Structure 1
Amino acid sequence: MGSGIKPTDVRFRIISFVDNRGKIIRVITNLINLTPKEIADLYRMRWSVEIFFRWIKQNLNVTRLFGATPNAVYGQMYAALITYFIGQWLYLHCKSNHQFEKLNRIIFLFVLQHGTLPTSWIVSVYNALRYYNAEESLSPIFG
Structure 2
Amino acid sequence: MMVTPLNVSDTDEFDNVLTDMGIFIDLHKVILVFDKGYWYYKRFKELTGKGIRFIVPMKKGARYQVLSQERTKKYSDYIVELNDTAGINFRLVVIHTNKGDLEYLTNIFDMNPLQIKFCYDMRWDMEIFNKELKSNLKITHLISENLNGVLIQIFSTLIAYLLIALFRITHNSLLPVLEIKRLLRYYGTYGVKKVRELSPKSITIS
TM-score (norm. length: structure 2): 0.33
Higher helix fraction (1 or 2): 1
TM-score (norm. length: structure 1): 0.45
Q: Which structure has the greater CA radius of gyration?
A: 1
Higher strand fraction (1 or 2): 2
